[in-house]
């Protein structure tokens, strides 16, 4: 089956190429009566747009969402919600030289290998532009989750080999991540990263980085073992974002080097009484908010790693469609590092997974659980 749809009950399909007339999404399964304004969608899209400064692409898009169906007087109708975002800043001429070449580190060759043809304009659907549609859909999922008190927050944890402070350390401040376009929660790290990105831009090179995400207010019980465990679906959702090379939950890969006595999150009696087993809380959160693929009620915590942007202006060797070795300096407008723009995409994919699991949880426990 084709891979442009995601989710089971809250199901989103995205469409559109980078330099076609529009990108967009259709959501089927959004419950009726959820408060949703165009401004909710616009706000998230604004955070995904190139933000200026040394690190991000100079492509200018208004990213104005149009809701075509499924919403009446700022409430969802329970019918399919269609949203489009028209592409306005298409300079496909930038990509003429790429018709015959495969960019190193990009999806050109594998798409042509698979489909026998490709849209070379900005990478077609393998472009980061596709994620605008996910962010629009994520804004709808967020509205569903907000009505349940669930809040999702991501930020830049590292870029260009420079780390932002960890929560509770140094000058960590999430408000600061909203103020600087790099989405770094610390002024000192933001300044050092900005300097590094300016150097890389000068050199025609690029950088990768890490995004951290925390979900608070998450109810206990979300996740559908055994194949649709919460981390399994979230892993799929986040890894489907272009350039993502890894996801880790809680202590993540570091847990492999710990002992059980250090890694175990020790349960303590929870505050609120609950039906069934006693309410629990945990002294630590090395598990990242799930056990057995089911949310514990602790914050969901994970990190995602993104590779350096593939399209760089520094000349590199590649191969053309005739199999000849060629020199390539990628034309067009590109980010030195996509991590700041990926932050709202990570939030959107998280919202899509959780909205779907929240609906599936109700179906799974009907008549047995709270």
Ligand X SMILES: Cc1cc2nc3c(=O)[nH]c(=O)nc-3n(C[C@H](O)[C@H](O)[C@H](O)COP(=O)(O)O)c2cc1C
- Residue 63 CA to residue 139 CA, distance in Å, equals 14
Q: Which of 297, 303, 308, 355 has the alpha carbon at shortest distance from 334?
A: 308
Q: How far is the CB of 22 from ligand X (least distance, A)?
A: 17
Q: How far is the CB of 159 from ligand X (least distance, A)?
A: 14
Nearer to ligand X, 87 or 126 (CB): 126
Q: How far is the CB of 119 from ligand X (least distance, A)?
A: 13
- Residue 311 CA to residue 161 CA, distance in Å, equals 19
- Residue 214 CA to residue 143 CA, distance in Å, equals 17
Nearer to ligand X, 212 or 296 (CB): 212
90 with 70: CB under 8 angstroms? no
Nearer to ligand X, 144 or 330 (CB): 330
Q: How far is the CB of 110 from ligand X (least distance, A)?
A: 8
Nearer to ligand X, 142 or 334 (CB): 334
Q: Return the residue matching tokens 């165009």.
A: 38
| Phi, psi at 251, each rounded to 5° | -70, -20
Nearer to ligand X, 106 or 360 (CB): 106
Nearer to ligand X, 37 or 316 (CB): 316
Q: How far is the CB of 308 from ligand X (least distance, A)?
A: 9
- Residue 293 CA to residue 282 CA, distance in Å, equals 16
**Radius of gyration of the CA atoms of the chain, in A:** 21
Token pair, residue 256, equals 């492999």
Q: How far is the CB of 332 from ligand X (least distance, A)?
A: 8
CA 118 to each of CA 17, 267, 328: distance values in angstroms, whole numbers, following the listed order: 11, 53, 19
- Residue 40 CA to residue 76 CA, distance in Å, equals 13
Q: How far is the CB of 152 from ligand X (least distance, A)?
A: 17
Token pair, residue 206, equals 């690029």
Interface with ligand X by CB under 6 A: which residues?
57, 106-107, 126-128, 131, 241-243, 307, 309-311, 334-335, 338, 341-342, 345
Nearer to ligand X, 11 or 341 (CB): 341
- Residue 98 CA to residue 86 CA, distance in Å, equals 24
Nearer to ligand X, 3 or 257 (CB): 3
70 with 82: CB under 8 angstroms? yes
Q: How far is the CB of 282 from ligand X (least distance, A)?
A: 33
Q: Return the residue matching tokens 């709808």.
A: 140
Q: Point out the residue whose Cβ comes nearest to ligand X.
A: 128
In the three-class reduction of DSSP (H, G, I as helix; E, B as strand; rest coil), residue 120 is classed as coil
């Amino acid at each position: 089956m084709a891979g442009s749809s995601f989710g089971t009950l809250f199901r989103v399909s995205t469409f559109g190429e980078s330099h076609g007339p529009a990108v967009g999404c259709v959501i089927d399964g959004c419950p009726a009566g959820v408060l949703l304004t165009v401004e909710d969608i616009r706000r998230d899209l604004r955070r995904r747009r190139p933000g200026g400064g040394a690190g991000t692409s100079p492509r200018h898009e208004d990213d104005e969402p149009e809701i075509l169906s499924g919403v009446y007087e700022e409430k969802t109708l329970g019918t399919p919600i269609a949203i489009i975002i028209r592409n306005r800043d298409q300079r496909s001429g930038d990509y003429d030289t790429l018709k015959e070449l495969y960019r190193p580190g990009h999806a050109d060759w594998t798409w042509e290998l698979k489909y026998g043809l490709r849209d070379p304009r900005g990478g077609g659907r393998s472009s980061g532009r596709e994620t605008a549609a996910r962010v629009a859909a994520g804004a709808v999922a967020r509205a569903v989750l907000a009505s349940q008190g669930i809040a999702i927050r991501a930020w830049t944890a590292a870029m260009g080999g420079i780390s932002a402070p960890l929560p509770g350390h140094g000058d960590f401040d999430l408000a600061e991540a909203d103020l600087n376009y790099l989405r770094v929660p610390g002024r000192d790290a933001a300044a050092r990263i900005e300097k590094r990105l300016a150097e890389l831009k000068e050199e025609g090179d690029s950088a990768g980085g890490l995004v951290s995400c925390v979900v608070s207010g998450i109810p206990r019980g979300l996740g559908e073992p055994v194949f649709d465990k919460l981390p399994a679906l979230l892993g799929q959702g986040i890894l489907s974002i272009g350039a993502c090379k890894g996801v880790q939950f809680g202590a993540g890969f570091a847990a492999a080097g710990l002992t059980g006595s250090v890694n175990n999150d020790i349960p303590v009696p929870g505050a609120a009484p609950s039906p069934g087993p006693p309410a629990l809380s945990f002294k630590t959160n090395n598990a990242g908010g799930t056990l057995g693929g089911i949310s514990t009620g602790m914050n969901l915590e994970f990190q995602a790693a993104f590779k350096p942007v593939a399209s760089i202006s520094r000349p590199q060797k590649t191969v053309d469609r005739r199999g000849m070795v060629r020199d390539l300096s990628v034309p067009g407008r590109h980010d030195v590092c996509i991590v700041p723009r990926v932050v709202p995409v990570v939030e959107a994919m998280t919202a899509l997974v959780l909205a779907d699991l929240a609906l599936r949880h109700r179906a799974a426990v009907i008549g047995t659980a709270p």
